[in-house]
Amino acid sequence: MIRPSASGSAGMRSSTRFQMGANTLEHLDEGCGAPAWVHAADLSCLTFRECEIMLALGDCLSNAEIASSLFITDRTVRKHIASVFVKLRISSRSEAAVIASHRRRELDPKSGVSDTFEVLSQQR
């Protein structure tokens, strides 16, 4: 909650002061909280492993933690992250984490959303 300072002024005009509460959070949960670029990112170009990396970035894991959980080297993790950045046209782990948090179901193969490998194997 944003509150005015002890002097009664929060450093802004009274007309611009506001309080954040449950209503603001509910409004963000209605789909207004994600920037347009989050939904514009083309996740279909990611490999299965890159989707796993994205999910880990969404969980704020370090490279060492990702490497350990996926049984790969730290260097391989860095290469996958670099590939994700190029494919999604992003430049930071924070951007990847935002995309992963808002579009987790599309990245998680256990969510029931179409899996690229499953689709490809059915086409053969």
List domains and CATH numbers for the chain. 1-33 (no CATH), 41-123 (1.10.10.10)
The per-residue pLDDT for range 83-97, each reduced to its tens digit, is 999 999 999 999 999
Query: Average pLDDT, whole number, for the chain?
Result: 76
pLDDT, tens digit, 9 for 90 and up, residues 33-47 = 788 999 999 999 999
The secondary structure of 54-122 as a DSSP string is HHHHHTT--HHHHHHHHT--HHHHHHHHHHHHHHHT---HHHHHHHHHHSHHHH-GGGSSPPHHHHHHH
CA geometry: angle at 15 spanning 13 and 21, to 5°?
105
Amino acid at the residue 83: S
Q: Tell me: the pLDDT tens digits for 14-38? A: 333 333 333 333 334 445 578 899 9
Signed CA dihedral, 51, 55, 57, 61: sign only: negative
pTM comes to: 0.65
Q: Map tokens 């046209």 to a residue.
A: 89
Per-residue confidence at 59, pLDDT binned at 50, 70, 90?
Answer: very high
- The per-residue pLDDT for 81 is 98
Q: Is 107 exposed, middle or buried (0-12, 13-18, 19+ CB in 10 A)?
A: buried
